[in-house]
Amino acid sequence: MPTYQYEAMNSVGQAVSGRLEAASSEEAISKIRSMGNFPTKIKERSDRKSARAGAAAAPMAAATPVARRRVGRVPRKQLVQFTRQLSTLQDAGLPILRSLRVLEQQQKPGMLRVAIRTVADDVEGGATLSEAMARHPKAFDTLYTNMVAAGEAGGVLDTVLRRLAEFMETAQRLKRRITGAMIYPIAVISVAVVIVLLIMKYVIPQFVPVFDSFGGKLPAVTVMLLRMSDWIAYEWGWAWILGVPVAVVMAFSLLRKSNSGRFFVDTMKLKIPVLGKIMAKTAIVRWSRTLGVLLSAGVPILEAISITGETAGNEVFARALRKVHDAIREGEDFATPLKQVKVVEPMVVNMVDVGEETGDLDKMLAKVAETYDEEVEVMVQAMVSLLEPFMVVTLGVIVGFIVVAIFLPLPGMIDAVSKQ
């Protein structure tokens, strides 16, 4: 059986070496891993199998199928925590490979642990950290990998990782705030719709025999209520009421799979009263903060604008930023084409112009993000405050209509009974 010479790292990142017997390089790698070590290089000592030794000496990332497998999406909260921890280890002076191995051991079983292991294996194979992360776009997006690349190039990876973690935390906080504000009205409206449908389907039809037994002409409001009840209870009206919103959401989801459809959907979103302004300001917060972070990390402005367009989250802003990118490439400044695309307010254009003149464009963009972040929070709170009385009034009108329609025929029915 061939003998293999190996070099590896133990669980605490220390270099170890030794010899072992195995039928193949794959079996040797398995034995080394079973000892709790991470092989970095193995070589067969038999001269007659030198051809196989070349293959065995290949990095672990090339020998293991898991390292070549792309990793799926990683939870944002876990990614932020990993980024902060990696920044701390880099600031402490640990080698990047040892940092990754340490963080891998700390992670619970899951997608992030697989991502860290595959990235570490690729780094062992000679790839840079940004190159290894770029092979898993679902786990590490374009913004993430480009900032890591900028940090590696400038020798300030710890600082860039810290800024990246802060950026992701701020973006998540804004997203949670908007989502949390929308949960309450959506939940109330959904419950109200279900209750009204149950009343129309099971309660109102019980009054029909009572009205028919007394005869006479029913008020127009009552007739309307009974017709609506018949449509909901016997003509699948309830399915239409519940199915149409689902169909609309699915149709918009299908439209968003194409660039033109995504542009149409995002344009319609921006035209929704109140909510459209919140979405527009949220998009401004997202791209200005992203662009500011990229520029502060040392990413060239053309590349930074291109990345920002890809991560804008709104196709209207993405197309506008592509036009700005092309204009800057042709020699124009940043503020002029940004004003021409008309997707941001004049205040943003003026702040960008001042930032270009003073050389502090990244800081100015950060101030834009902070300003609009506060405006978004105020608008969300105002919208929620307006939605609550609106929902109360709407539900009151619906309940009042049902009550009036049911009780309005009662005086006539009482008169008919008294005459008998």
> Distance between CA atoms of 9 and 39, rounded to whole angstroms?
6
Residue 56: pLDDT over 60: no
Query: Which residue type sits at 344?
Result: V
Q: What is the CATH number of domain 159-420?
A: 1.20.81.30
Q: How far apart are alpha carbons 365 and 167 in whole angstroms?
A: 13
- The whole-number pLDDT of residue 302 equals 86
- Residue 26: pLDDT above 70? no
415 or 226, greater pLDDT: 226
For the chain, the structural domain boundaries read: 3-58, 76-140, 159-420
**94: closest CA among 144, 141, 161, 142?**
161
Residue range 119-132, pLDDT digits in tens: 888 888 888 888 88
Q: Which residue has the higher pLDDT, 286 or 247?
A: 247
> What's the farthest any 2 CA atoms get from each other in the chain?
118
Confidence of residue 345 (pLDDT cuts 50, 70, 90): confident
Mean pLDDT of 62-88: 70
81-111 as b/e, with b when 16 or more CB fall inside 10 Å? bbbbbbbebbeeebebbebbbbbbeebeeeb
Q: What is the pLDDT of residues 315-325, one digit of tens each?
A: 888 888 889 88
CA–CA–CA angle 153, 155, 158 (5° rounding):
115
Tokens standing for 119? 């990235």
